Amino acid sequence: MTRKHGTRAGVLLVGALLFAVMTTTAAVAQSARPAAGEAVTPGLNGPEGELSFGLWYSEAEEFSATTGFTQHRIGGRDDSLAMGLSLSRYATSAHVTLTDPDFYESPYARVLSFAIRSYEPGATQAGDYTFTQAEALIGFSRALDPRRSIGFGAGFTRSTLDDRDSLPEFLAAYVESVGEEINDAFVYADYVWDARLSEGWQRRGPRVSLNTQLGRAGDTSYGLAYLRGEYRAPFGERFELRTHGAVGLGDTLSDGPFPVLRSFAAGGPGSVRGFAEGTLGPQSPVPGSSDVAYPGGQFSVLAGLEAATPLDREQKIFGMAYFDIGNVYETAADYDGGALRRSVGIGISWASPIGPLSLFVSEPIDPKDGDEVSRLQFGLGLRF
């Protein structure tokens, strides 16, 4: 959440807590809830279980290692049990998930999830504090028809801030108002309409998703909504065009401050490439240093246009050119079209044998003073 000027991007605490998993963009915090539109398939015709290990790299978290296993047909049923552990320089998390793909022989899939997480600033960040979280969630999802699906559920998150030294001003103000321990009970509902059709490697048509969440963090009730859409269309035989946009809105529904851990964030792959992950929007001073924190905001606007083409016969390597635009604002009333950040760039993605690899070279258009520019960004995933 904080970073030292002149150093490469480290973990951004708020962005990590939103999981977005950000990269997605700064969406409504999804936790481990089953996403509408994503089928839950426990591999009934596959192996009884799997064991996985992984090594991942992203600009925000740098390198992280993961391990986990999944066991199918628990107790002779079609339920599956998954456990996982993730370790990085800045964060540690563990989860247990129990999935029933046809809850009581119904068309609904049910997920029970339990997770613990710990985040702290790394060597490239200022401050000396730690966030820990424990979360429990129950979620359901089902397909309404081949194009439409829904998801809904409820959860509870307990967050604790270990204030050992210094905090960014916005976080210190929030802790002074609500305390170092925050209990957050929430319900959510998701909807997906996906009318995309495949035409060889190309796809044509729209996809729209809406994620909503109502919760109470401490003594403050809040609401979140995130609307995202895209349209894909072939352009000749060699290119696919994709236009996309997203709007996120959060607000309080009672007296009290908006929960900072539910803020939207933007910047980096998945939002506005060419800017360091999670660094767009408001900034907050860090007492006793020249560093700044990036608290995100309650209103997010993102959009873009992308053209992609396969570079190999197997259609596993794709080149692309893109235009991104967007920003995050403290509230919707603070929206200013002149503050939108823009960038253009080229990239390459490869579904390699060891995992996905992506590389982007971007040029921000008219960056402002204080912007954290990151012209070269890449991600690597290795699973074995």
By residue count, the chain amounts to 384
Q: Write out 154-202 in H/E/C secondary structure.
A: EEEEEEEEEECCCCCHHHHHHHHHHCCEEEEEEEEEEEEEECCEEECCE
Tokens for 153?
């559920």
pLDDT along the chain (384 residues), means of 10: 38 33 34 52 54 73 82 80 89 93 89 91 55 95 96 97 78 89 97 94 95 96 98 94 98 95 91 90 86 90 97 91 98 96 95 79 93 84 49
Find the angle CA(12)-CA(16)-CA(20) to the nearest 5 degrees. Answer: 120
Q: What is the structure's pLDDT at 11?
A: 31
At 349, list the tokens.
Answer: 């993605």
CA gap 153, 111 in Å, rounded: 9
Asked if 265 and 16 count as a contact pair (C-beta separation under 8 A), the reply is no
Which pLDDT belongs to residue 287?
83
pLDDT of the residue at 10: 33
- State the pLDDT at residue 65: 86
pLDDT score for 30: 42
- For the chain, the C-alpha Rg in angstroms (whole number) is 21
What's residue 130's pLDDT?
82
Using DSSP's 3-state secondary structure scheme, residue 15 falls into helix
